[in-house]
Structure 1
Amino acid sequence: MDRRDCAEAVSETTEPLLKVTGLQKHFPIKKGLLQRQTGAVKAVDGIDFEVYPGETLGVVGESGCGKSTMGRLITRLLEPTGGTIEFEGTDISHLGVAKMRPLRRDVQMIFQDPYGSLNPRHTVGAIVSAPFKLQGVEPEGGVKKEVQRLLGLVGLNPEHYNRYPHEFSGGQRQRIGIARALALKPKLVVADEPVSALDVSIQAQVVNLLDDLQEELGLTYVIIAHDLSVIRHVSDRIAVMYLGKVVELADRKSLYESPMHPYTRALMSAVPIPDPRRRGQKNDRILLTGDVPSPIAPPPGCRFHTRCWKATELCKTQEPPLLELRPGQRVACHHPENAENAAGLTVPAARESVEVALTKKPEPEAPAQDTTDEPAPEASPEATPES
């Protein structure tokens, strides 16, 4: 808890380590003999967030919402379609391979599959030492000594240096991937579902390992996961994604105690509560109707309106901006949950933006005004005070 409080204090006084603005990634759909583009899968479609030094940003959402694509974009394993990615104030959105190579030391990734992310033909020593060879780094005491130190750091035996990945369990393989990611002492580590392929008992070990390494090495994490209990345990702030968009971004306490976006509330209601005294009581789980819309043709307006129980005509026609409705809690919703608690804390800029959005509500009636004469616009300002 002390580290969480320190991270929140740092975020208020320092510049972000990573800043993402309007980030997009559209995968083209090509058909026909000439492979002409007929559409695009909008995996990530305009997201904004910051990550501060020493903190952990958790990213949650349903499968297919663009979490893993976002992780590969900020590590520049994928080329963004639009938007900017700033690392320590430098725009790295479209840097070439040669210019990105030095930055690989500072930005590393832990992959989701501990089985597919390790080359079965290489020994553990060759896998963990690969970053040193690729970057031309000669650690003090030699590569082998440093690799053995890293293996001990993640809870493995240094004698495992000459073994192959098939000789290890899933949790041990994930530890090998973590050791490889930490080899060059990075500043930012993106962990894509680091415990999803592991047993529950092993999950706790890996999560605690990541937490301990952060305190010991001063790491900054972006952790992508489905398990909301894992995210709650490791994160300082949490971003909720839906269909390529960030719909809510808040600190851990605010998000879990008082979620403001209906989708976030539905996610929180799905978390099982291990309390036998609740047996037979009314289930408070929110069941969303319908399927997730296709990212090829997302619905207009708010992308969640097709499954939202609070949707109105405004939600169907206008996309809600991501506004700070509470200090540190940003929400993209025209009708947020728990709004009565946030009314007195809404910042003026957010209130003005909401009022501007609400004044645009009558726009669908525009065709009816086309039948009026030219003097009608002059008469409309006089009619407004009378009403």
Structure 2
Amino acid sequence: MSEDDEPMTNSANSEPAGAATGTLTDPPEGESLLRVSGLKKHFPVTKGLFKRQVGAVLAVDGLDFDVRSGETLGIVGESGCGKSTMGRLITRLLEPTAGKIEFEGKDITHLGVGGMRPLRRDVQMIFQDPYSSLNPRHTVGSIVSAPFKLQGVQPEGGVKKEVQRLLEVVGLSPEHYNRYPHEFSGGQRQRIGIARALALNPKLVVADEPVSALDVSIQAQVVNLLDDLQQELGLTYVIIAHDLSVIRHVSDRIAVMYLGKIVELTDRQSLYGTPMHPYTQALLSAVPVPDPRRKAAQGRERILLKGDVPSPMNPPSGCRFHTRCWKATEVCRTTEPPLVPLATGHEVACHHPENAPDQQPGDTKLLRLADGVGTAG
């Protein structure tokens, strides 16, 4: 954005703090913009004519983390681990079952539609599928201008001029204003979704698999665009992905999820250099290395996890990864490890983390060697 591009004006922004608009002051760089504690989302499973609840899918089952102003937090994990559900919870597109969500110090956990409306300016989401997230009956101009109309914001120079400027910011042409989504490629559609998310100058952008549906060459363009926009506009990102190469390129800190829980959280260099949770090690070992000589130099062997991911309706007792872990002991089966900070700076939920003293040093009998127990090796 050039110096001539002034931010949009809105008469509501002149109201004092605490007014009905919900406008909050910007936190200093590095302070927590978003704080999540004990966050849970359980989807009920019903059966029969009277829809009697017979169980629940524990999609997200107790998350604790914060997102600092100006950083990018990456969320990785296998399909079905609860990443997308978590993204919809922190943007309040889903109602949490339990826990607390604070945005700039304000509790937004159970705000209704009216209470969340002013906060939609500050919290936006980029959806996974660029083909279904855009209304095929609306033009690009109508799609990107929708946030202005919904929030009652009148940009300087008019809505059309601002939309055309946003299209240029994301690498599209102003002439695309009157075109329809079906006239664009997948990468261009994702850029339209990004322009819509940036329309109201948000403080936090949650990107749910922003490049998973795109070709590899287009993925690089969109990832670089997100990085450039962060530097230019001072955005804070939560990026959800299963591609560890993408997450490594864009993230400052990375959280690894497994069956609705965070098992490791640390900065990018520490996670890729010295992973401490066995599940993180298995994920990183599966990242393809194009140069065989480089792969041999790294000395990292592929770790094949045995068995399937357990059902989120009936997760294992204790550590949820113990049924597939080659380091699991009896305490892993009976006691759930807390997510605790270690001296290395990692936050790890593991009784026997790599490259660190065990939380349970006296428990050394491996489950995979016990008689009648067929756990992973």
- Counterpart residue type for residue 44 of structure 1: V
Shift of 1:12: 11
Q: Which residue of 84, 91, 95 corresponds with 1:68?
A: 84
Aligned runs of 1:143-292 on 2, under 5 Å? 143-277=159-293, 284-292=301-309
The answer for the alignment partner of 1:95 in structure 2 is 111
Q: Which residue of 297, 301, 314 corresponds with 2:331?
A: 314
TM-score norm. by structure 2 comes to: 0.86
Q: Which residue of 300, 315, 336 corresponds with 2:317?
A: 300
Shift of 1:278: 6.1
Aligned runs of 1:127-138 on 2, under 5 Å? 127-138=143-154
Q: d(CA) in 2 for partners of 1:135 and 1:13? A: 27
- Counterpart residue type for residue 134 of structure 1: L
Secondary structure of 1:57's counterpart equals strand
Shift of 1:327: 4.6
Q: d(CA) in 2 for partners of 1:246 and 1:322? A: 8
Q: d(CA) in 2 for partners of 1:358 and 1:329? A: 22
Q: d(CA) in 1 for partners of 2:182 and 2:161? A: 23
Secondary structure of 1:314's counterpart equals helix
Q: Which residue of 338, 349, 352 corresponds with 1:335?
A: 352
- Give unmatched runs, 5+ long, in structure 2: 1-26, 366-377
Q: d(CA) in 1 for partners of 2:124 and 2:37? A: 20
Shift of 1:150: 0.1
Aligned runs of 1:117-132 on 2, under 5 Å? 117-132=133-148
Shift of 1:336: 0.4
Percent of aligned positions with the same letter in both sequences?
80
Q: d(CA) in 1 for partners of 2:362 and 2:158? A: 64
Q: Classify 1:161/1:153 alpha carbon distance in 2 versus 1 (closer, same or farther; 3 Å).
A: same
Q: d(CA) in 1 for partners of 2:175 and 2:296? A: 53
Shift of 1:338: 1.4
Q: d(CA) in 1 for partners of 2:285 and 2:296? A: 17
Q: Classify 1:187/1:283 alpha carbon distance in 2 versus 1 (closer, same or farther; 3 Å).
A: closer
Secondary structure of 1:79's counterpart equals coil
- Counterpart residue type for residue 296 of structure 1: M
Q: Which residue of 104, 119, 123 corresponds with 1:107?
A: 123
Structure 1 segments of 4+ aligned residues over 2 angstroms from their partners: 11-15, 276-283
Deviations 1:50-73 (A, max 9, x none): 000000000000000000000000
Which of the pair has more CA radius of gyration? 1
Q: Which has the higher helix share?
A: 1
Secondary structure of 2:32's counterpart equals coil
- Counterpart residue type for residue 270 of structure 1: A
The answer for the alignment partner of 1:80 in structure 2 is 96
Q: Which residue of 36, 39, 45 corresponds with 1:29?
A: 45
Q: d(CA) in 2 for partners of 1:155 and 1:143? A: 19
- Counterpart residue type for residue 127 of structure 2: F
CA contact 2:29–2:68 (8 Å) conserved in 1 = no
Q: d(CA) in 2 for partners of 1:270 and 1:120? A: 38
Q: Which residue of 331, 338, 342 corresponds with 1:325?
A: 342
Aligned runs of 1:357-376 on 2, under 5 Å? none
Shift of 1:13: 7.8
- Counterpart residue type for residue 83 of structure 1: G
Q: Classify 1:233/1:14 alpha carbon distance in 2 versus 1 (closer, same or farther; 3 Å).
A: closer
Aligned residues: 337
- Counterpart residue type for residue 311 of structure 1: A
Q: d(CA) in 1 for partners of 2:263 and 2:308? A: 18
The answer for the alignment partner of 2:15 in structure 1 is none
The answer for the alignment partner of 1:374 in structure 2 is none
- Counterpart residue type for residue 302 of structure 2: R
TM-score norm. by structure 1 comes to: 0.84
Deviations 1:291-344 (A, max 9, x none): 0000001000000000000000000000000010135310000000111xxx5x
CA contact 2:30–2:71 (8 Å) conserved in 1 = no
Q: Classify 1:134/1:358 alpha carbon distance in 2 versus 1 (closer, same or farther; 3 Å).
A: farther
Cα RMSD for the two superposed structures? 2.0
The answer for the alignment partner of 2:373 in structure 1 is none
Of 12-21 and 279-288, more deviation after overlay is shown by 279-288
Secondary structure of 1:37's counterpart equals strand
Q: d(CA) in 2 for partners of 1:141 and 1:298? A: 55
Shift of 1:358: 6.9
- Give unmatched runs, 5+ long, in structure 1: 1-10, 344-350, 362-387
